[in-house]
Structure 1
Amino acid sequence: MLPMAKSGPGGAPLIDALFTAVSSVCVTGLVVVDTPTYWTGFGEAVILVLIQVGGFGVMTLASVIGLAVIRRMSLRSKLTTSVEVKSAGLEDIGVLLLGVVRVSFVIEAAVMLLLTARFWLGYGRPLPEAAWLGLFHAVSSFNNAGFALFSDNIVSYATDPFICLPLCAATIIGGLGFPVINQLRKHAHNPLRWTMNTRLVLWGTVTLLTLGTLYITVLEWSNPQTLGPLDWPSKILVGFFQSVQTRTSGFNSVDIGQLDGATLLGMDILMFIGGGPAGTAGGIKITTFAVLFFIILAEVRGEAVVNVFGKRLSRAVHRQAIAVALLSVAVVVAATAGIILMTDYDLGPSLFEAISAFATVGLSTGITPHLPIGGQLILIALMIVGRLGPTTFATALALRERQLSYQLPKERPIIG
């Protein structure tokens, strides 16, 4: 809200500052004002810092600072941080956190160099401006935030692979989750040592990116407002880019409001699933969706247990996945109904905006800046719940198991 953060006289109103801050720290990317014109360089820097903090995770960042200052961690810090980064043990927390920081900075630095070179040499931007654009978009993409310093987001660079592909690479890597990144860093050439979590995330990522690219590209191939005017290599590039960003990052290289209704529905599903756990991605997570898929598959086959990649799933995992998915559906439905009741927007854009906020994606059909304050507060709540809620809820279920000294008699209702 400081006047020095906003272009023009005076400071930003509370609701605009609050919405932007929440969207930044929840690495969402939804905006109610035009980022490059509304905020000054100082305001953009504040957004960048919040994105980095949100991507690391509050406890992760606090623990890293503690390690740097006092060179050790308390048991309480180890316990809380191990929950956030999904570590299997307490003894390796310090090593894991430092690994997370190193990986983050290396990837962000590499993407920044590629983008800086392209903006400088390819588009004639002055080197300082090109470096700032490279840094901002590298951090925004790796942390799956989707904030851009262009009024049309990435639409002007939709057919430039030297801009789009580095952004996609950073988004995909950040969306894998730190446990997967850490394991691949150690055992990339030995798949036999990969955990079920790593296998599910990698399998799910490749499958969803492929299906998403085909779905978006085919449905929008002849749409004159999106892919229609482009040649076929550019159509594939834009389709792939939008499939990657729909998963959780939120950059857009086409006008989302001009997409076909069927395309938006498919993107709703991709956004709701999200990326890998314990990383910068949002949604219910690939692992949750995969567990539900294998539960259904086992039920259809008539199998008594659920087996995944040669291992048996615990019954507790079944319950956690179902609980997280149903709770997430309930939150999105309630928020969508609230937006519809207080505005004139119909189900399509209202649902899209709600899922985008809950899954911390940041894509928008264009209605977010025009929502009343009540609608924007709903999106703020969704971003916070989406960033913390499903993970916190699943963790609470995992830590709150109790054994009863008795069992009630069984009875089965009719299902289906």
Structure 2
Amino acid sequence: MKEDFLHHVWQFKKFDIANLKTTKGESILIVNSGQYLQLAGPDFFNAQLIIGNQKWAGNVEIHLKSSDWYVHNHEKDSNYDSVILHVVWEYDVPIFRKDNSEIPTVELKEYVALSDLHKYQSLISQKSWIYCENEIQNVDEFIFKNWQERLFFERLERKSQLIFELAETSNQDWEAVLFCLLAKNFGLNTNGEIFYKVAKSIPFSVVRKESYSLESVESLLLGQANLLSHDFEDSYAKQLQKSYAYLIQKYQLHEKVVGSVEFFKHRPDNFPTIRLVQLANLYFHRKNLFSLVMNCSSINELYQVFSVGVSQYWETHYNLDKESSKKMKKLSKSFIDLLVINTIIPLRFAYARSQQKEITQKLIDLAIRIPSEQNVIIEKFEVLEIRSKNVYESQALLELKKNYCDYKKCLDCAIGHFILKK
């Protein structure tokens, strides 16, 4: 038994309300069960109850045992002075206010139907992957679709936290915000953090000034990522070293990023050297990139913006000093999709928020134009007959698994509510 089940029971009145009595035998009529705000203090605010012949207005606190009141030291907290009813599963001790008057208590286990308790216990019993895996296929489509939209935007809310932090530290320079986000996502999971540190270590004003020279941007990114610290034989590698030495002196960029990029287990096209020079190429060829991506009205326009490759030297190299067979190494459509999912859509969401603009439907329209991601989580949902056709649906499923299922938040989930209400 968990308190969140009792919250669910009280909020949705999943008990015998007609014959409700306190532990002292006084009748209880619920006029308003209160607002479940999940804030500090009592569980339900502004409830209205008639206890005996007296009407009360105040708050309701819920615990598994009445003695939990003292375990949590509520008797010392003035936030709980306005509690008019203590709702518990098991009544083991009476609870008193500061003036020594007893707080009315109701013992819910006397009023909850066994069928509801069994449904709850079945829902939270550990399955092989998620708790509702035997029921999720039967959830009402209307409820599932509405919850899907909520999950999609909850995910964007979480992603936007980093974006707002970057906007604040860069004095609302949204071009600089985009640069850091793109660097992070060019690095993928393995090198994302160090690429992000590289981008933050270079003031974007420097990138703006030097973006007219591809060699300068390449040397800045590779140098700050500690990839130019070897003795090279290639003339181009030596030129990059020379350019980097000049630029760090010119802009006083003496603080290198701590750590090293990872090559291990990456396909050559995902080598950090290639991803960094592709990022350099993007900023060399696309000036005012933030305005470009914000003004794109379709996924095809975004594909055009990110349709860049590498310079001539890198067409025959994956590493400095090591020649390979020639390859254009353009950003693939699938890689651009990842950039749109993890950078452009969250950035548009956050920027619209900062401008107090409503673009909800535009973001959904863009997301449904991108094919669903394919990963272990999406594949396991497919086994449960929950299939996603596009990114809008797959992002919602990822949010569901990672921030609800994994934390056992079934009673905060529309799917869990539906199963318990059946």
Taking structure 2 as the reference length, the TM-score comes to 0.26
Q: Which has the higher strand share?
A: 2
Q: Which has the higher relative contact order, 1 or 2, with Cα contacts under 8 A spaced 6 or more apart?
A: 1
Larger radius of gyration: 2
Q: Which has the higher helix share?
A: 1
Taking structure 1 as the reference length, the TM-score comes to 0.26
